[in-house]
Amino acid sequence: MELTACVEWLFEERGPGLPERIRAASAAGFDAVEFWLWKDSDVLGPRDVEAIRAAAEESNVRIAGFLTMPFTDLNDARTHDGFLRGFQDSVRVAVDLGCQTLYTQGGQMVAGQSLEQQLEAVATVLSRAARIADAEGVTLLLEPVNVNDKPEEIIATTQRGVAVVQAVGSPNVKLLYDRYHAMMAGEGLGEGLEGAYSLLGHVHVAELDRGVPGSTEVDWYAALRDFRDHGYDGTIGLEYMPRSVPTERSVEYIRDVVERVNREA
């Protein structure tokens, strides 16, 4: 297993720019980073793809993944053509950055349509996106999101995410499993992943308050060992807020856990 640093939150003490945070992640021993948006945002500020690429190359850091844009409701068929055009643009950026993984989410429930219709719509557009992903050698990950954070989210449980990915049936569409969202949804360890660990493309970790792993009673060793015991040997994304703890110190516990799990493999 390999740790990746989500530089939207980690290394915030190094300033608002992602290039500076990428360099800081490298200095702290990370070989891979991830972030959310590759385009400018009113909330997250400007994004300079060339500067991000330069920082990654200079630091010998891999871009592990980021969100495809536009960020839209995949369960609404009216958004599909626009999503696919944006996905093609995002894939071009990913290829330029040497990144092989993009992330997306399902969307907000649409009034007047059944849950089954909306899940089918998500699977349909992801199947179309899979053909683009396959041609460019990238993977698109679907992330379930709990309804406490995002009310009316269509892919609100691991079980729904797995069902959609299975319906797509493409090696280029997998699941982004966020243990924080699963815990917020009340899911036990491994719940919804029974027989489906092979669909995992990436894992996110954070405490229930989006805090530093190891700061509560969550047994992260048991969680990561569960993934490993079921054959997952991929990336573990640190998507938490260090808050008052320096980022370099905040990663010590989870880094020790990953090293222990890897040694025991």
Place of tokens 């890897």: 262
pLDDT digit string (tens) for 44-62? 888 999 999 999 999 999 9
Backbone angles phi, psi at 259, to 5 degrees: -60, -40
pLDDT digit string (tens) for 191-204? 999 999 999 999 99
CA quadruple 148, 149, 153, 158: dihedral, nearest 10: -80
Confidence (pLDDT) at 44: 84
DSSP 3-state of 125: helix
pLDDT digit string (tens) for 105-131? 999 999 999 999 999 999 999 999 999
Question: For residues 263 and 265, what is the distance between their CA atoms, to the nearest angstrom?
Answer: 6
Averaged pLDDT, 85-100? 97
Averaged pLDDT, 94-110? 97
Residues 206, 240: contact at Cβ < 8 Å?
A: yes
Shortest CA distance to 126 belongs to which of 175, 158, 77, 165? 165
Shortest CA distance to 25 belongs to which of 44, 40, 45, 5? 5
Shortest CA distance to 73 belongs to which of 43, 111, 46, 35? 111
pTM: 0.96
Backbone angles phi, psi at 261, to 5 degrees: -60, -40
Residues 181, 144: contact at Cβ < 8 Å?
A: yes
How far are the Cα atoms of 96, 98, 181 from residue 56, in angstroms, in the given order? 12, 10, 29
Question: For residues 214 and 42, what is the distance between their CA atoms, to the nearest angstrom?
Answer: 32
User: Which tokens sit at 265?
Assistant: 């493999």
Shortest CA distance to 144 belongs to which of 188, 106, 115, 174? 106
CATH no. for 68-193: 3.20.20.150
Percentage of residues of the chain with pLDDT beyond 90? 95
